[in-house]
Chains A and B, each alone.
Chain A
Amino acid sequence: MNVWKFFSSSLTVAEMEARRVRHDPTELFTRAIQPALWLLIFGEVFTSIRAVNTGPYTYLQFITPGVLAQSVLFIAIFYGITVVWERDVGLLTKLLSTPSPASAIVLGKSLAAGVRGAFQALMIFILAVLIGVNLRLAPLDVLGVFLVVVLNAMCFSSLSMLLAAILKTRDRMMGIGQAITMPLFFGSNAIYPTSLMPTWLQGIAAFNPLSYIVNALRALLLSGDYSQLPVDLVITLAYTAVFLAAASIMIRRLLE
Chain B
Amino acid sequence: MAEQEAVSVQSSEGEIAIEASDLTKVYPPSSKAVDHVTFSVFRGEIFGLLGPNGAGKTTTIKMITTMTRPTSGELTVFGMDVRSNAERVRSLLGYVPQSVSVDTDISAYENLLIFSKLFFVGRKDRKARIKEALEYMGLEERANDLVKHYSGGMMRRLEIAQTLVNRPKILFLDEPSIGLDPNSRRDVWRSVLQLRKQYNTTIFITTHDMSEADALCDRLAIMDQGRIAAMGTPEDLKKSVGGDLLTLVVPTDSDIPGIPPEIGSLSYREGNTMEIVSENGDAAVPKLVALLSKQGITIESVSVRKPGLDDAFMKYTKKKLAEDLVATDARAARRSFTRHAG
**Chain A interfacial positions (CB closer than 8 Å to B):** 1, 5, 8-9, 12-13, 15-16, 19-20, 23-24, 27, 78, 81-82, 85, 88-91, 93-101, 170, 252, 255-256
Partner of B103, one of A1, A20, A170, A256: A20
A82 CB, min distance to chain B CBs, angstroms: 5
A248 CB, min distance to chain B CBs, angstroms: 14
Contact B67 A96 (CB under 8 A): yes
Q: Which of B71-95 contact A (CB under 8 A)?
A: 87-88, 90-91, 93-95
Please give, as numbers and ranges, the residues of chain A lying within 8 Å of B339 by CB-CB distance.
85
Q: With the chains together, A20 CA to B102 CA distance in Å?
A: 12
Please give, as numbers and ranges, the residues of chain A lying within 8 Å of B96 by CB-CB distance.
90, 94
A247 CB, min distance to chain B CBs, angstroms: 17
Contact A23 B146 (CB under 8 A): yes
> Could you list 22 examples of A-B contacts with CB < 8 Å?
A15-B117, A16-B103, A20-B103, A20-B106, A23-B106, A27-B341, A82-B340, A85-B339, A85-B340, A89-B99, A89-B100, A89-B101, A90-B100, A90-B159, A93-B101, A94-B101, A94-B102, A94-B162, A95-B118, A99-B91, A100-B119, A256-B68
Q: Which of B1-31 contact A (CB under 8 A)?
A: 27
Residue on A with the closest CB to B98? A90
In the complex with contacts A9-B117, A19-B106, A256-B27, A90-B99 CB distance below 8 A: yes
A115 CB, min distance to chain B CBs, angstroms: 14
Please give, as numbers and ranges, the residues of chain A lying within 8 Å of B93 by CB-CB distance.
97
Please give, as numbers and ranges, the residues of chain B lying within 8 Å of A89 by CB-CB distance.
99-101, 333
B246 CB, min distance to chain A CBs, angstroms: 44
- Secondary structure at the A interface, as helix, strand, loop or mixed, is helix
Please give, as numbers and ranges, the residues of chain B lying within 8 Å of A24 by CB-CB distance.
105
Contact A93 B333 (CB under 8 A): no
In the complex with contacts A19-B106, A23-B105, A252-B68, A93-B342 CB distance below 8 A: no
B268 interface contact, C-beta 8 A:
no
Please give, as numbers and ranges, the residues of chain B lying within 8 Å of A90 by CB-CB distance.
96-101, 159
Please give, as numbers and ranges, the residues of chain A lying within 8 Å of B162 by CB-CB distance.
94
Residue on A with the closest CB to B105? A20
B115 interface contact, C-beta 8 A:
yes
Partner of B65, one of A5, A9, A97, A100: A97
In the complex with contacts A8-B117, A19-B110, A97-B67, A82-B99 CB distance below 8 A: no
Please give, as numbers and ranges, the residues of chain B lying within 8 Å of A1 by CB-CB distance.
87
